[in-house]
Amino acid sequence: MTASKGLVFLVGAGPGDPGLITVKGLECIKKSDCIVYDRLASPRLLVNAKPEAELVYVGKSPDRHTLNQEEINRVLIEKALQGKTVTRLKGGDPFVFGRGGEEAEALIEHGIPFEVVPGITSAIAVPAYAGIPVTHRDFASSFAVMTGNEDPTKEDSRIAWDKVATAAGTLVILMGMSNLQQIVDKLIANGRPADTPVALIRWGTRPEQKTLTGTLEDIAEKARAANFKHPAIIVIGEVVTLRDNLKWFENKPLFGQRVVVTRSRHQASILSQAIEDLGGEPLEFPTIDIAPPADFGPMDEAINKIDTYHWIIFTSVNGVESFFERMRALKKDIRDLKGISLCAIGPKTREALENFGLTCDFVPGEFVAEAIIEGLKDKEMAGKQVLLPRADIARKVLPDTLKQMGAQVDDVVAYQTVKGSGNAAQLREMLNKKQIQMVTFTSSSTVKNFVELLATPDYLQLMEGVKVACIGPITAKTARNLGLQVNIEAAEYTIEGLIKAILEERRA
């Protein structure tokens, strides 16, 4: 008995910015059993795959192929014949010089069903990110997209240079850097004025985006002088002159910054989104994860006698969420907290409590344990019963000082902070290639686990030239103790405060 045939989605991933994936393309990634992806598809899209999904890299570049096209076709066929749902994730659009048509034909030969999910082609997205519209009422009412892979000097060219040279207002040429000199010579020889503006855009829509402008007459020499290489697209036409006024991506405050986010995966989105909104590219490398306590016994005992407490002090959003999750498990709710004073270490923790319909009695001005202690000094804590539901690795300064103040403290583990699952090999490679500009730390545990996950004695060498941003003094102290140079330290110990500090440093 043979397995039923699977289904293959030929998905365009867009030109590089993962935010440019289509809604349908993202849905395909999420539900597939196997993702076959190339080098121009953002690796950040892969975090949306199912944990058990098989990831197959088939990256190709002009000078090196991991697999050739026939081998890629075989991979798609083999995985589909195993009954798997497969997403073939391709940079740009699968049918715009993406060889998606060839892959579709191979699938048809084997009777494998497939769907095509169009993507945003680099031919229009990359110029747009460089401030160049491919059409404009005052400059160009048409545009043409061409391959630059073909040698323009060969006699049997499929490109009618005598026609395309002047047929469209804007010419967009993909994969043409190695033939740039021959391309501009051919265009000039066939009637395109030598002073026609040209833009070369490398790694468009990514932090590495670089744009070089010139004319048909001088652009090849400028590219040689700047060592400007693939992957890049060539834009030819008067629309290039609009770039000085319309460039927007490069004007964002975090443009050119790839920033590592070390928070747990389920918490990273707020910081990642803020970085992305400001023009940076967040790279999520979760160094911590949140897990239930090894033993619910102490927490359950505290909840079952909840009416005996005078204060409950929450030192994190995770503590709030874990506490109320356990309350629900024990068939209790917020009515059982009547008469108990509540303390939250900061605005986000207070907000988490407010989401449960609760009002905080005390939030310190500074968001550290020492500030809680200072604020509770005039609360007559002697003899008071205090519950501290928090992480297993939390500092002892808070319970120890409260006990010195005469309070009876139950310091119970609400959740464990365990080592995260960041892709250390990928991060080491990117650090080594100087593709990371900044690393953010939001707790001491993120710092410690970052170093442990890198798992290399030369981590300080890898971090040379990389800026370190810490959410506050405790985290910064841990980083310095591990030999890291702290460049940015937030004055307000929140994600918003961290972003503010990063922007201030960029403006300095």
1 vs 328, more confident: 328
Q: What is the pLDDT of residue 142?
A: 96
pLDDT of 62 > 70? The answer is no
Say whether 90 is catalytic.
no
Q: Looking at the DSSP assignment, which residues form a beta bridge with residue 385?
A: 408
Q: What is the pLDDT of residue 1?
A: 35
Distances (CA, A) of 111 to 1, 7, 80, 90, 105: 17, 10, 10, 22, 10
Q: How many DSSP H helices and E strands does the chain contain?
A: 19, 22
Say whether 175 is catalytic.
yes
84, 93, 146, 175: the catalytic one is 175
Mean pLDDT, residues 128-156: 91
Which residue in this structure is represented by tokens 């995966």? Answer: 265
Angle between helices 317-329 and 297-304 (to 10 degrees): 70
Cα diameter, the chain: 95
Say whether 156 is catalytic.
no
Q: Looking at the DSSP assignment, which residues form a beta bridge with residue 147?
A: 174
Q: What is the pLDDT of residue 2?
A: 45
Give kind and range of the element (H or E) at residue 469: strand 467-470
Does this model's pTM top 0.85? My answer is no
60, 210, 252, 477: the catalytic one is 60
- Inter-residue contact 126 to 200 (CB < 8 Å): no
330 CB burial (10 A radius; 0-12, 13-18, 19+):
middle
As a whole number of angstroms, the distance between CA 368 and CA 349 comes to 12
Are β-strands 258-261 and 288-291 bridged in parallel, bridged antiparallel, or unpaired?
unpaired
Mean pLDDT, residues 249-277: 91
pLDDT of 61 > 70? The answer is no
17, 33, 38, 93: the catalytic one is 38
Q: What is the pLDDT of residue 67?
A: 83
Q: What is the pLDDT of residue 63?
A: 54
Q: How far is CA 310 from the centre of its chain?
A: 43
Q: Spell out where 83-138 has E strands.
A: 85-90, 114-117
Alpha helices in 16-98 (DSSP H): 23-31, 69-81
Q: Which of 374, 376, 312, 384 has its CA nearest to residue 349?
A: 312
As a whole number of angstroms, the distance between CA 258 and CA 268 comes to 15
Are β-strands 60-61 and 64-65 bridged in parallel, bridged antiparallel, or unpaired?
antiparallel
Q: pLDDT (tens digit, 9 = 90+) per residue, 293-327? A: 999 999 999 999 999 999 999 999 999 999 999 99
Backbone angles phi, psi at 34, to 5 degrees: -145, 135
Q: pLDDT (tens digit, 9 = 90+) per residue, 428-448? A: 999 999 999 999 999 999 999
**3-class secondary-structure state, position 134:** coil
Tally Cβ neighbours within 10 Å of residue 245.
8
Structure tokens at 364: 């310190």
pLDDT band with cut points at 50, 70 and 90 for residue 149: confident
Mean pLDDT, residues 151-173: 88
Q: What is the pLDDT of residue 292?
A: 94
Dihedral (CA of 373, 376, 377, 380) sign: negative
Q: pLDDT (tens digit, 9 = 90+) per residue, 173-215? A: 999 999 999 999 999 999 999 999 999 999 999 999 999 999 9
Q: What is the pLDDT of residue 151?
A: 73
- Inter-residue contact 263 to 439 (CB < 8 Å): no
- Inter-residue contact 276 to 205 (CB < 8 Å): no
Structure tokens at 234: 């060539």
Q: pLDDT (tens digit, 9 = 90+) per residue, 93-139? A: 999 998 999 999 999 999 999 999 999 999 999 999 999 999 999 99
Q: pLDDT (tens digit, 9 = 90+) per residue, 67-95? A: 889 999 999 999 999 999 999 999 999 99
pLDDT band with cut points at 50, 70 and 90 for residue 3: low
Q: Domains, the chain, ranges and CATH?
A: 7-120 (3.40.1010.10), 124-251 (3.30.950.10), 258-287+420-507 (3.40.50.10090), 291-418 (3.40.50.10090)
The average confidence (pLDDT) of the chain is 93
Distances (CA, A) of 112 to 72, 74, 98, 496: 15, 12, 20, 50
- Inter-residue contact 265 to 289 (CB < 8 Å): yes
156 CB burial (10 A radius; 0-12, 13-18, 19+):
exposed
Q: Looking at the DSSP assignment, which residues form a beta bridge with residue 57?
A: 37
CA angle 344, 346, 348 (to 5 degrees): 100
Q: What is the pLDDT of residue 41?
A: 86
Structure tokens at 504: 């201030």
Q: Which of 115, 125, 63, 136 has its CA nearest to residue 91?
A: 125
Residue 16, sorted as left (phi over 0), alpha (psi -120 to 50) or beta, turns out to be: left
Q: What is the pLDDT of residue 60?
A: 61
